[in-house]
Amino acid sequence: MASKRIGIMDLRQIIRLKLSGRSNRFIAISLGVHRNTVNHYVKLFKLGEISYESLLEIGEKELHDLFPSKSITDRHRYEELSTHFEYYRTELKKPGCTRLALWNKYLIDYPEGYGYTQFNEHFNRWLGRVRGSGKLDHRAGDKLYIDYTGKKLSYVNKATGEVVPVEVFVAILPCSNYTFVQASRSQKKEDFIESMNDCLSFYGGVPEVIVTDNLKSAVNKSSKYEPILNKTFKDFGLHYGCAINPTRAYSPQDKALVEGAVKLVYQRIFYPMNEMTFFSLDELNGEINRRLGTYNDYLLSLIKVSRRQQFESIEQAYLSALPTDRYEIKSYKRAKVQKMGYIFLSADKNYYSVPYRHIGKRVEVRYDTRTVEIYFNSDRLATHPRSYQAGKYITIDDHLSSTHKFYQSWSPDFFSKRAASYGPYVVTYIEALIAQSLYPETAYKQCLGIFQLYDKDQKGRLNKACQRGLLHNKYGYHILKNILKNNMDRIHPGTSPKNLISDHENIRGPEYFDQLLKQSLN
């Protein structure tokens, strides 16, 4: 049987909702998981004899180890069955048709399908939903419905005269009907999260559940039975301590309340602004906010109180307190730990260290504007301050092996001191080589190569080769290698090669060596 695992974020939501006194049934409905799954974890919590407060403080890795994931309902199998429910209902109206006959027919097409008891249970639940639905009684502080309007507003760019269309975000607390409206540049994740932050600040508190439409900025994969939230919006819910519950795809009745609010927003805010021109998004939102205040203060005809009055007298006290900081959007990437013990963050083109024992492993990188966190199997390996300097290596010394720590000690002074053991001209040559490089780090490997040219049996040759190499304006490993290879270090710098080489028909002559040296310099 195919199964799906409950993630750490969902597990934390179960703990938080139990801490607030919610029933297992409420939690299952809010999170969109099977009630037996919630029952299973609640039993584990009790057996562990750890308070819910303590569980919320436990790190992701430890929490994962304490409560291994449990399979939930086989959604694929249920979807196969549910496609036939309408047919079964029609067939049962025919004389002689029974559920047992329908079940036997179902098993012919799906041999691995549900047993008779589960078949009836799922069918009965579906029948209960389609036979009719009554008015929902909304509890104070329970849910917040959010959506975007289908129509857009706009402002004029003063510099170009271009008309810039903008999206309009709408939220409503169903118990009091207290409404929030804000224009934003797009429905992209960054703008969506910013509107959500402003929305909760507007209400001054956090509801138990945020009910969202299947927005691309909130939901990675929509489904009639189990939408998959993106990590950013799940993290947003954890930050504010609330559950996220997307509406079902193709189920407009799930968001009827907020769509009703959108229609009123068209009438009370959009239409009165129809003849107005705005020259910035802030100017547009200023007018929206002014008209929104009038809208929320408008007396409802039946009960003769305003949305604001209902919110302040009934609902405000039941909202949870806001955290001290606004949520800051996090980005997620996968990366492989490189041989040097670093991961590469392509967003800034720089490197962050990871404990060397994880070299070669694939890790998850979470980052915001201030920090970069690196995780492996829910275990946080490292936390770094984020750097925006391209090509920089951000390092924690404890992450490095002894070999890598040796690399970390490299500096111009390090190589100058090491060169001193080979001779004074080697020191001068190494310093000149490093000085000619735009970035000293690029010359360090050449310095190591030069030290490798040292011959213990002929100790003075490297120093003399550097002495001769200093006569030119360009320095490098291959230049010294050619000087030694062609024995040019044996020629005194003040002596011309042609004075030391006798004429012979098999000798190429000093011009050949001068040309060879010029080629190595180029």
290 φ/ψ angles, rounded to the nearest 5 degrees: -65, -45
Cα–Cα distance measured from residue 128 to residue 417, given in angstroms and rounded to the nearest whole number: 84
The predicted pLDDT at position 518 comes to 64
Report which of 1, 77, 78, 5 is spatially closest to residue 37, judged by C-alpha positions. Answer: 5
The predicted pLDDT at position 270 comes to 87
Q: Each residue's pLDDT tens digit in the chain (522 positions)?
A: 333 456 777 788 888 888 888 888 888 887 777 788 888 788 777 766 677 787 777 777 777 666 655 444 455 677 778 888 878 876 775 556 788 888 888 888 888 778 888 788 788 877 765 544 434 456 778 888 988 888 889 999 888 888 999 999 999 988 888 999 999 988 888 888 889 999 999 999 999 888 887 666 556 555 454 555 677 778 888 888 888 877 654 444 445 666 778 888 888 888 888 888 889 899 999 999 999 999 999 887 766 788 898 888 888 888 889 998 888 877 788 888 887 788 888 888 888 888 878 888 888 888 877 788 889 887 888 888 888 777 778 887 777 665 555 556 667 788 888 888 888 989 999 888 888 876 566 677 788 888 888 876 577 888 888 888 888 878 888 888 888 888 887 776 655 554 445 555 556 666 666 676 666 655
Q: Is 147 exposed, middle or buried (0-12, 13-18, 19+ CB in 10 A)?
A: buried
Q: How far is CA 391 from the centre of its chain?
A: 22
According to DSSP, the β-strands at 143-148 and 163-173 are antiparallel
The predicted pLDDT at position 133 comes to 42
The predicted pLDDT at position 437 comes to 75
Distant-in-sequence, close-in-space partners of 107: CB < 8 Å, separation ≥ 6: 113
Residue 240 · residue 119 · CB < 8 Å: no
Tokens representing residue 163 in the block: 């008309």
